[in-house]
Amino acid sequence: MHVRKVFLIIFLNILLIYKNIYSDETLIGTTSNNFLKIQLPARPAAIGESYVALADDINSIFYNPAGIGKSMLTELSFTHAEWFQQIRYENLSFLIPFSFGNIAGAINFLNISTMDKTLSISPLTYTKEYTFTPYSLNGILTYAKEFTDNLFVGLNLKFVNYTIDSQDENGSSFSILSDIGLIYDMPFLKGFSTGLVFKNLGPSSKFISENYMQPIDMKVGLAYAMDFLALSADIAYPLDNNLNFYLGGEINLFEILSIRAGYKGGTINQPTFGAGINYARFFVDYAFVPYSEENLGITHRITASYKFGAPESKIIFNPKVFSPNNDKFVDYSFIQKDIMQKNKVKNYILTIYNELNEPVIKTSKLHPDTKLFWNGFDSFKKIVPDGTYYGKLETIYLNGIKSESNIASVTVDNTPPEVKIDANPKMVKPGQITALYAPVKFSPAVFDLHGISKWKLIIYTADNKIFKTFEGTGEPKEITWDGSDNTGLNYVNTGTTYYYIMYAADSVGNWGKSISDKVKVLLREIVITLSSDTLFDLGKADVKISVYNDLKKVANKIKSLNNPTVVIEGHTDNLPLYSSKYKDNQELSEYRAKAVGRFLVELFNIKPEIISTVGLGDTQPVASNDTPEGRKKNRRVTIRIKTSKWE
């Protein structure tokens, strides 16, 4: 509705302004290129030249270029006009529809009978100098497109050569003119259209020594077209004349014969008549227009045209691969269509073929508002086998025109990925469960034709409780497990049996899994990292009593191992010390490592001989020291618990 209101407001304002400025009968005979007022094609001429809103084919070039945007077929046309006073007018036109808009063109040749050029010797005596033949050779290029739903816009560029006397160097002129037109199909009034066109816009033409304005014209129209009946009415506001009006209609009989009549009123009042036949997209139209009021004579127009091809249409499947396994993830592939004049579609027919070009399903005629998709089922409502399939969309328009789309491919994939996984280092003894030494390196081997979207590695206990989970997206890389659980605080009981299994999903949601492996996990090293900000105050090396419980857990883990050795590492960021009793970060890190060691020995009775400490200062950062967050991560104490005996 918004587009309609804007269009009507613009139309009414232009109409009022134009009427006040132009339309003056005193200017009759003062404009150039008046042969452009001769409307060539026979069909519009037969209905009183009332074609501004009805335009929808190659004839639109002469009446309203916006109508070119409504044509969906390639067209060729030839028109011959027998005018009064031995004037003949020929036209050859073409129209080619594209998805980006329609292109049309015309070449026109006007031929006037030979005349004598005379020289006055006396008031009553003339002498003949030579004969000459006035003519015009002009061309038109047209572009038109449906810019929004139901609103068509078109532009003509006219290249006009008009020669009165080819032997006189000033006896001809060349002009470049333009036409601009709009057509709006009213969705709220089915079958009705309105149109507006400005014609022959351009600078003046010069003959001999004088400039002459162009025959600028503005026309508005209203039309109704449904099934076998079309009615139209136009009003013209020419620059060099008074208001003129045009009425007409046609009846189509048996889809072969058309009977037409119309009336032109205003400056000259005259009826118009005509008929047309069509067979297999070949059309012949005739118009009979008598100019009896001024005794000018009778005019005849005959047009032969041919329409061929089909409207361009394209489809793609989105996504290109889907899995109709009813898991609510990529169960369908939608058909995205790019077709001409969606509002003129009657229905669609979708056909899906297998790789042998055999149809697996063909829909009935679908309503144009139907959302098109394929769920992977065949005509027997069974899921088709995995593989590549091909879809084709047939579009049937209200006027009977049919269009077939390109062949688009889509792949059905219900096959899960192949998933394997290996773990090292390990010890294999005949008749015994395989033992893994932690830290463990898992090496996944995952394959799927359409790629891996996500994966998950689960380590669980004998009673099926999840102990550790690793997950990620894309192809999985090598995974290192230090023996800790999901909290990072607890570690495996060395020598205990665990299970691990790898899951992987492809791009359409099919999940595959590896064989579940049963192993005994033996700890070789436990690495525990504690934040220095939690353990110590800024610039100090005294352990806070608030971390008692955290260090108690560490002590309990050390006591649970056979013959453990403990290395405590102190780490800092790279900021210099200003208000500390320690001379630099290196010394601070050494004292902090020793402080944690004393805490474990004095409060939890850890044997001092199994503990060694080292200060590493800022030499081994785990994050950037350029940000506060990174520096915080680098301020840490790392406790490495190693055991030389695993069973």
Three-state SS for 543-567 is: CCHHHHHHHHHHHHHHHHCCCEEEE
Residue 524 binned pLDDT confidence (cut-offs 50, 70, 90)? confident
Residue with token string 């709009």: 182
Question: How many CB atoms lie under 10 A from the CB of residue 194?
Answer: 20
User: Picking from 243-247, 255-259, 395-399, which range would have the lowest pLDDT averaged per residue?
Assistant: 395-399
Share of the chain above pLDDT 70, in %: 94
Question: What confidence score (pLDDT) does residue 407 get?
Answer: 95
Q: Which domains does the chain have, with CATH numbers?
A: 2-121+131-308 (2.40.160.60), 313-412 (2.60.40.10), 418-523 (2.60.40.2550), 525-643 (3.30.1330.60)
Question: What confidence score (pLDDT) does residue 67 get?
Answer: 95
Question: What confidence score (pLDDT) does residue 558 get?
Answer: 87
3-state secondary structure of 598: helix
Number of H helices and E strands in the chain, helices first, is: 7, 39
Q: Is the pLDDT of residue 208 over 80?
A: no
What single DSSP character describes residue 484?
Answer: B
Burial 421-456 (b: 16+ CB within 10 A, else e): bebeeeeeeeeeeebbbbbbebebebebebebbbbb
Contact 292, 270 (CB under 8 A): yes
Question: What confidence score (pLDDT) does residue 644 get?
Answer: 60
The Cα–Cα gap between 116 and 128 comes to 7
Asked if the bond preceding 97 is cis, omega within 30° of 0, the reply is: no
Instruction: Compute the average pLDDT of residues 560-578.
Output: 90
Q: Is the pLDDT of residue 436 over 60?
A: yes
Residue with token string 């998933």: 419
| Amino acid at position 335, single letter | I
Question: What confidence score (pLDDT) does residue 17 get?
Answer: 46
Averaged pLDDT of the chain? 89
Q: What share of the chain is helix, strand, coil (3-state, %, to 5)?
A: 15, 50, 35
Share of the chain above pLDDT 90, in %: 62
338 or 171: which leads in pLDDT: 338
Burial 252-267 (b: 16+ CB within 10 A, else e): beeeeebebbbbbeee
Of 158, 175, 166, 161, the residue nearest 212 (C-alpha):
175
Q: Is the pLDDT of residue 609 over 50?
A: yes
Instruction: Compute the average pLDDT of residues 95-116.
Output: 90
Q: What are phi and psi of 279, to 5 degrees?
A: -150, 125
Instruction: Compute the average pLDDT of residues 614-623.
Output: 94
Q: Structure tokens of 322?
A: 């889907």
Question: What confidence score (pLDDT) does residue 25 get?
Answer: 56
Q: Is the pLDDT of residue 97 over 80?
A: yes
Question: What confidence score (pLDDT) does residue 134 get?
Answer: 85
Of 316, 306, 265, 368, the residue nearest 93 (C-alpha):
306
Question: What confidence score (pLDDT) does residue 647 get?
Answer: 47
What single DSSP character describes residue 150?
Answer: T
Question: What confidence score (pLDDT) does residue 24 get?
Answer: 55
Residue 1 binned pLDDT confidence (cut-offs 50, 70, 90)? very low
Q: What is the pLDDT of residues 276-317, one digit of tens each?
A: 999 988 999 999 999 876 677 899 999 999 999 888 889 999
The Cα–Cα gap between 309 and 102 comes to 14
Q: Is the pLDDT of residue 477 over 90?
A: yes
Q: Which of 132-141, 191-200, 340-349 has the highest mean pLDDT?
A: 191-200
580 or 365: which leads in pLDDT: 365
- Are β-strands 408-412 and 321-322 bridged in parallel, bridged antiparallel, or unpaired? parallel
Question: What confidence score (pLDDT) does residue 591 get?
Answer: 94
Q: Structure tokens of 540?
A: 């100090």
Q: What is the pLDDT of residues 392-430, one digit of tens each?
A: 999 998 878 889 999 999 999 999 999 999 999 988 878
470 forms beta bridges with: 457
Question: What confidence score (pLDDT) does residue 29 get?
Answer: 60
User: Picking from 13-22, 190-199, 493-502, which range would have the lowest pLDDT averaged per residue?
Assistant: 13-22
Q: Is the pLDDT of residue 30 over 70?
A: no
The full DSSP string for 357-403 is S-EEEE--PBPTTPPPEE-SB-TTS-BPPSEEEEEEEEEEETTS-EE
When computed from its CA atoms, the radius of gyration of the chain, rounded to whole angstroms, is 44
Question: What confidence score (pLDDT) does residue 16 get?
Answer: 47
Q: Is the pLDDT of residue 10 over 70?
A: no
Of 254, 310, 277, 313, the residue nearest 75 (C-alpha):
310
List own/partner pairs for 298-301 with CB under 8 A and 24 or more apart.
298/84, 299/81, 299/82, 299/83, 299/84, 300/81, 300/82, 301/40, 301/41, 301/42, 301/45, 301/79, 301/80, 301/81, 301/82
Question: In Å, what is the CA distance from 599 to each residue of 18, 541, 588?
Answer: 97, 12, 17
Give the dihedral sign, CA 223/226/227/229: negative
For the chain, the distance separating the N- and C-terminal CA atoms, rounded to the nearest angstrom, is 82
